[in-house]
Every structure is written in C-alpha cells, then in structure tokens.
Chains A and B, each alone.
Chain A
Amino acid sequence: MKNDKTAENVVETQELTKSFGADVAVQSLSMYVPRGKIFGFIGPSGCGKTTTVRLLTGFYKPTSGTLSVLGKDPAAFSKSDQGKIGYLIQQFVLYPDLTVWENLNFAASFYGVSPFRRRRLNKLLDFVELSGDRNKLARDLSGGMKRRLSLAATMVHNPELLFLDEPTAGIDPILRRKFWDYFKELQADGHTLFITTQYVGEAAYCDLVGVMYEGRLLMIATPEGLRKKAYGGDVVGIKTTEGMSFEQRNQVEALPFVHGKVKVIDAQENDVIVDEASAAIPTLMEWCQAQNLNVETIEEKSPPFDDVFVKIIETEAEHD
C-alpha cells in the first residue's frame, strides 16, 4: 500500500504484524498518521483495531515489522514520551466509588500534573459538559457520561496524540455527534487523534480513514477518496424520461472517462462511474441530448459509507 509519508507523521508503521500463537491479529500493517489530523480507524468488531492501538501505545510488542510513534518505538518510550500520549480504553476503567471530580483528580496525579490544576480540571469538565455532575459518583453516571468522563481523564495531561479506542461505542447518535464535535475542537487545539470505530458512517468526520478487515489494512484515504477508491471513481446518477436502451448503455460505457459497466437502478435511472464527476457531467449531458434522451436529473451521488465499506470488502473478497 502506498503511503504519503511526510516528516510530520506522528505515527508510522511498516509491515507491522502481531500474532497470538497461530492467530494473526494484525498482518503487515503499513500506515501513517499526519500531525494535527483526525485519523479514523474503521472496521468491524474483531478486525484488529484494538490490537493496533495497543501496539501503538506500547501495550503490546509487535511480532514483526517496525513502528514509530512521535518519532520513537513505543517499546523505548521514556516517561516523558508516555506523557505525550492519551489513551482512552474501550471500557470504563475509572473508579466507580469516586466522584467525577475525584476520578479526574486521580488521573491528573497519575499523569504527574502539577497540584495547581484546579482551573484545568474545571475547564475539562466544562468541555465534556460534566461540571454540574462533578460530585456524582462514577457508578451513578450514565453510559454517555462515563465516556465523557473517560475522555476528560484522557486529556487531563494535555497530550499531543490521543488514541481513542471506540469512544462512541454504545452511545446514542446525538451524543455520538457531540463527541465528534469535541474531537474537532481538540483537533483545532492542535491535537492529533487516532480514533477507532465500528460505525462506518463516522468516517465522514475524519481527515484520513484506514479500513481494517480481518487484521489487514485494506486502504487509507480521505473520506471522499475512500468512496472513489471503493467504486473506482465518482458516481454520477442519470435519470431520463424514456430510459436507456441496451445499445445506449454500451455507448456510455465506451466513453473514455467512464469506468466499468453502467449500473441499472430502474427503468429510468442508471449510475455511471467516472473519473471526475464535475468534468464528466457536462459531457454526459451533451451525449444525452445527442441521443434525444430527455434528462430529468443528472448529479454526482455520494453513496453512504456503509455502502462504501461493503463495496471495499466485496472488492477485497473478489481479489482473494
């Protein structure tokens, strides 16, 4: 897989592999994460996302391959290096018998944050909207509040790089959206975020997306690039009053900027894969007029990421 490496990458891996006995959890993973970006690591449950995060945080040692996080092998991290990383674990691991404030205070001491930190902790509580719940015991919090508390605890030492392992798992769509707003704010503050998720739709919020499947990284791209790669180009939908004949569809497929077969949606509508939608639409319009086809609509389609993901997996299966 081709990576656009630059000196600004905070995470880089080459042929990274992690096996547990005969089971290969992560296989030949090569990727990069540029500084200041939100990197979405997407894939179904059990595809190796958490193992990858654990490799990148130094929790696991790789079976083979190389990796560099903030310019160093995590195995050789000093305390100072570890202090530059924030790690949000999938499950809630803070203390149920401590209040929100006490848990946050514990996390701050735990990371060696100066005792004069009240302002910072208050700011964090405001950020995750838990200021009014500071005296609540953690065990009395809802699932979403627990995730927000965990996020605040992850950021308590103001890390450069945040590894967030499924931060939105199991929470409602409105709160999920709010989380992504938090992440955007963190990015705006200069943090780099490495976020795993099994919600494929969340790819849209990321700057770069890596798609994992059965321990392999299938591709890395921008969300739009992902669509393009999945379908082989932009998707243009053409709806005509009369519908296209078999002969006309063959003619479309023969156009130089069109890739693959024309997909028949119904009697009137067809989808065409093109190099660049903005350039192809005027040409396709002219072609329709030349064919005496009355165009009702012609526009670029953005397939949902769920479909994109399925398409990628199908393509991968065909290759196998």
Chain B
Amino acid sequence: MIRFFIRISSFLGKEMTEIFRQPLLILTLVLGPFLIMSLFGLAYPDQNRALRTTFVATNPDAFQNELGLFTEAYSSTIVDQGVETDKDLALSKLALNETDLVIVIPDAPFETIQNNQQAELEVYHNEVDPFQTGYIQTIASIYVNEVNRRILQTVTEQGQADSGSLQSGLETAIAKTQELRQAVSPEDANATTQAAELEKDLTDLHENLSTFRSLASGVLVNPFSVKTSGLSGIQFTVTGFFAPSVIVLLLQHLSITFAALSIVRESRSGIMELFRVAPITAFETLVGKYLSYLFFEIVLAGIITGLAIWLLRIPILGPLQDYALAVIILLFTSLGVGFLISLISQTDTQAVQYSMLLLLASIFFSGFFLDLRLMREPITALAWSLPATYGIRMLQDVMLRGSSVPPTIFQGIALIGIVLFVVDWFLLKRKMES
C-alpha cells in the first residue's frame, strides 16, 4: 500500500516541478485571466448602445410645431443628428455609417390620424448582427410608444386647458339651476325634484371635471409604472455578470490543455514503454496526474478568485465552501476531458487543436454569451456535455444569486467527471498494455 502512494507521488512531484519550472507561465496564468476580466469591464460600459439617429421629414413646415414630438432625445439611446428633408440622402449616410438609424416621419401625420388611420414611422438600420437588429427593434418599439405617449399627453393637456372654460360655464349653469329651484313653487313637488336633480348632475359633472383638470397629464396617459428587482438585490455590472463565466472558461481551458498535453507527450517521448514494463499501473499513473494538476489548479483558481474579489470587486454572495466545491468538481471533470484528448491524440498539435475546438464549443454552447433557454432542445444535449455549462451555472448561482450549488447540476458534472475518469483509466490501461 505504501508503494502505491510512493508511485502516485512520482507524478505528483514530476508534474508540479515541470509547471513551477516555468514562472512566466504561472504569471501568465494568474495575471492573464485577471487582465482579461479587467479589460472586459473597461471595454463594455454598463450602458446601452446609443444610436446616432437622423430624422427625415419631407415636409416639415406642415407640422413645424409638433416636430419636436418626434425628434427630441428619448433618453440617451437615441442621439438626434438632425432632420433631413431628403430620405435618400439620409439613407446614404446610413450606408456610409455616418448614422445608425434613419427615422422617416410621414408627410401629414396628424391629418392621417384625424382620418382615423395610423400614421406609420419608418425606421431604417444597417445592422447584420441579429442581436443588434433585435436591439434596434426593441428601441424602435420603445421610441414609437414614447411618441404616442407624448402626443397623448399633449392632447390631454390641451383637453385640460379647454375644459377650464367648460367648467366656468358649468358653474354658471349650477347657479342658474339653484335660482330656478328656489323660484319653483314648493307645492310643485315634481318640478322641485327635477330642479334638484339637475343641480346635482351639474355639480357632479363639475367635480369630475375638476378631478380631470387636477390630475397630471403624465399620470393620465401612463397611469401605471413598473419597477423590477432581482432577488439578490444587486444590479450587476457587465464585468460582474461575466466574471463567473470567464473564471469557468479559463479554468476549464487550462485543465484541458495541461491534461491534453500530458500523456500525449509521454507517448511520443517513448517513456510509455518504460511504464508498461515497470511496476506502475495505469490507475496509479492517472491518479498521480489528476492529483498534481488538481492541486496546482486549485491554487491557481484561489489566486484568480482572490484577485477578482479584491481588485475587481466581484462579489461571492453564496457560501464560500460551495464556490470551492463547484471549482473543484469543474477542474476534476475538465481534467477528465483533457486526459481523454491526450489519450486519443497522436501528436501535441492534435491535442492542442482538440482543446481549442472544445474552448470554441464552450464559448458558443455553455451559456457564456447566450442564455441556454434560447437554445433549441436537441442542441442543449451538446451544451450539457460540456463541463463549462455546469460550471457557469454553479458559479453564477453561488456568486451572483447567493444560493448554494444546485444539487442536480453538481450531480450531473460529477457523473460526467467519474465516467471520464473510468474511460481514461481504461484507455490508459489499454495503451500501457497493448
């Protein structure tokens, strides 16, 4: 039994020494991810993209007073670049990337509405990115709602102003009705009742009109507002949101690359021949390699996490032990993937290529950029075969939501990790025996 541990320790020491012999590599591994995260935070400010917008009104004189309703800045999203009367000129500016949006206001919008028809605003863009197209569609929808709201508000304010003279007319009518009621003979019960009812109706109408005039036009047009809150109560920055995903992708990639190169190099150096005739087993070899890389990467993950917390102010809202558990199981499973690559690759180059392909697949399918809930059902199977998918989910839950590691997610990644260990063991055994 002691010899078992001595043989395992051979790889533990060897792999660690080889890694620590490259201080520049370690520095890159520690500082690289940290710098990437910092740059990422600097590169993407926590604001929506502002769209430079050119308005087109072919006959602006027809609604000179109302033009502001269409062109006044709506938050910081639409940046007014002026009004053009020539639509083609505006579109050519769009093609030359001198403007991001062209909004064409119809010729006689208010007449169209008065004729009981909708007036259509045309919005042009030059985007090819489906996400940017979607963003513009959303902004266009918000814009048209805002235009409608402003027009309604203007109309409402007009109505409130107009109702002022109506109210004074009503007050006169009420006074005359009172006089009428007093002039009617008390014996004429019917006439007295009718006069009283008329007075009451006029008084109610006056009160309603007062209420209408006293309400703010903004409240009348938008009686409801909305407020959204996340359970964590924290509004995350772009860096904050992506930090768990970046940590996961980096740790997965490091594990896979280290492990992928490990056995393939030994196969090519010829030492595998020695392994096969020496008293070391495939199990001991694999356990030794797993332990050495796990140890190194746990230390590395600790440093990266520390830097992220203290320098980038990325929070870990959940329990720290859950964070550690998620990182360890992610590393264990990623190493399994790496060793599998190492065992099926013939050359270093092939191993590196496979590792890069896996990184690419992880970027696209792990939920790094796109929410997994947007993915078509059969493809999610591919997503859930990647350790990064589980890792991102676990770290987002622990770091951003403040919850524990979801048990089913943990069980899923652990199962993959164990299966990979067994497969790697079998393949290495076969390699050492064949």
Which residues of chain A have a CB within 8 Å of any CB of chain B? 54, 57-59, 79-80, 82-83, 85, 87, 89, 91, 93-95, 97-98, 102, 105-115
* Cβ A110 vs Cβ B280 within 8 A: yes
The CA of A153 and the CA of B274, in the complex, are separated in Å by 11
The binding surface of chain B is classed by DSSP as helix
A-B pairs, top 3 by smallest CB distance, nearest first, are A109-B10, A112-B3, A79-B279
Which residues on the A side are within 8 Å of B280 (C-beta)? 110-112
The CA of A260 and the CA of B424, in the complex, are separated in Å by 65
* Cβ B7 vs Cβ A109 within 8 A: yes
* Cβ B274 vs Cβ A89 within 8 A: yes
- Given A89-B273, A109-B9, A112-B279, 8 further pairs, Cβ under 8 A: A58-B276, A82-B279, A87-B274, A102-B17, A105-B13, A109-B6, A110-B7, A111-B278
* Cβ B274 vs Cβ A111 within 8 A: no
* Cβ B21 vs Cβ A97 within 8 A: yes
B230 on the interface (CB 8 Å rule)? Answer: no
- The contact string, 1 if C-beta is below 8 Å from chain A, for chain B 264-283, is 00000111011011111100
The CA of A316 and the CA of B278, in the complex, are separated in Å by 37
Most interface-central of B10, B279, B281 (chain A CB within 10 A)? B279
* Cβ B9 vs Cβ A83 within 8 A: no
A-B contact pairs, 18 of them (CB 8 A): A79-B281, A80-B279, A83-B279, A85-B277, A93-B269, A93-B270, A93-B271, A97-B18, A97-B21, A98-B14, A102-B17, A106-B10, A109-B9, A110-B10, A110-B280, A111-B278, A112-B3, A114-B6
For B14, give its contact among A57, A87, A102, A113 (CB under 8 Å). Answer: A102
- The contact string, 1 if C-beta is below 8 Å from chain A, for chain B 390-406, is 00000000000000000
Which residues on the A side are within 8 Å of B279 (C-beta)? 79-80, 82-83, 111-112
- The contact string, 1 if C-beta is below 8 Å from chain A, for chain B 1-41, is 00100110110011001100110000000000000000000
Instruction: Give residues 262-313 of B contacting A (CB, 8 Å).
Output: 269-271, 273-274, 276-281
Q: Which residue of B lies closest to A99 (CB)?
A: B17
The CA of A58 and the CA of B21, in the complex, are separated in Å by 35
* Cβ B18 vs Cβ A98 within 8 A: yes
B237 to chain A, nearest CB (A): 41
* Cβ B277 vs Cβ A57 within 8 A: yes
* Cβ B271 vs Cβ A94 within 8 A: yes
* Cβ B18 vs Cβ A59 within 8 A: no
Which residues on the B side are within 8 Å of A108 (C-beta)? 10
For A113, give its contact among B6, B271, B276 (CB under 8 Å). Answer: B6
The CA of A106 and the CA of B292, in the complex, are separated in Å by 14
* Cβ B6 vs Cβ A115 within 8 A: yes
Which residues on the A side are within 8 Å of B270 (C-beta)? 89, 91, 93
B163 to chain A, nearest CB (A): 89
For A109, give its contact among B13, B276, B277 (CB under 8 Å). Answer: B13
The CA of A109 and the CA of B285, in the complex, are separated in Å by 11
The number of chain B residues touching the other chain, given as a range, is: 20 to 34
The CA of A80 and the CA of B279, in the complex, are separated in Å by 7
Instruction: Give residues 400-421 of B contacting A (CB, 8 Å).
Output: none
Which residues on the B side are within 8 Å of A115 (C-beta)? 6
* Cβ B6 vs Cβ A82 within 8 A: no
B195 to chain A, nearest CB (A): 110
* Cβ A59 vs Cβ B273 within 8 A: yes
Which residues on the B side are within 8 Å of A102 (C-beta)? 13-14, 17
The CA of A292 and the CA of B171, in the complex, are separated in Å by 173
Most interface-central of A94, A107, A112, A115 (chain B CB within 10 A)? A112
Q: Which residue of A lies closest to B270 (CB)?
A: A93
B120 to chain A, nearest CB (A): 70
Which residues on the B side are within 8 Å of A89 (C-beta)? 270-271, 273-274
Which residues on the B side are within 8 Å of A97 (C-beta)? 17-18, 21-22
The CA of A98 and the CA of B278, in the complex, are separated in Å by 20
* Cβ B277 vs Cβ A58 within 8 A: yes
The CA of A105 and the CA of B279, in the complex, are separated in Å by 16
B211 to chain A, nearest CB (A): 85
A21 to chain B, nearest CB (A): 16
Which residues on the A side are within 8 Å of B271 (C-beta)? 89, 93-94
- The contact string, 1 if C-beta is below 8 Å from chain A, for chain B 123-140, is 000000000000000000
Which residues on the A side are within 8 Å of B17 (C-beta)? 97-98, 102
Which residues on the B side are within 8 Å of A112 (C-beta)? 3, 6-7, 279-280
Which residues on the A side are within 8 Å of B9 (C-beta)? 109
- The contact string, 1 if C-beta is below 8 Å from chain A, for chain B 321-352, is 00000000000000000000000000000000
- The contact string, 1 if C-beta is below 8 Å from chain A, for chain B 347-375, is 00000000000000000000000000000
* Cβ B14 vs Cβ A82 within 8 A: no
The CA of A114 and the CA of B280, in the complex, are separated in Å by 15
* Cβ B6 vs Cβ A59 within 8 A: no
Which residues on the A side are within 8 Å of B7 (C-beta)? 109-112
The CA of A108 and the CA of B7, in the complex, are separated in Å by 9
Which residues on the B side are within 8 Å of A87 (C-beta)? 273-274, 277-278
The CA of A138 and the CA of B271, in the complex, are separated in Å by 15
The CA of A306 and the CA of B22, in the complex, are separated in Å by 49
The CA of A98 and the CA of B18, in the complex, are separated in Å by 7
The CA of A109 and the CA of B15, in the complex, are separated in Å by 13
* Cβ A95 vs Cβ B18 within 8 A: yes
Which residues on the A side are within 8 Å of B281 (C-beta)? 79
The CA of A97 and the CA of B22, in the complex, are separated in Å by 9
Which residues on the B side are within 8 Å of A98 (C-beta)? 14, 17-18, 21
Q: Which residue of A lies closest to B280 (CB)?
A: A110
Known contacts A109-B7, A115-B6; A59/B14 CB under 8 A: no
Q: Which residue of B lies closest to A114 (CB)?
A: B6
Which residues on the B side are within 8 Å of A59 (C-beta)? 273, 276-277
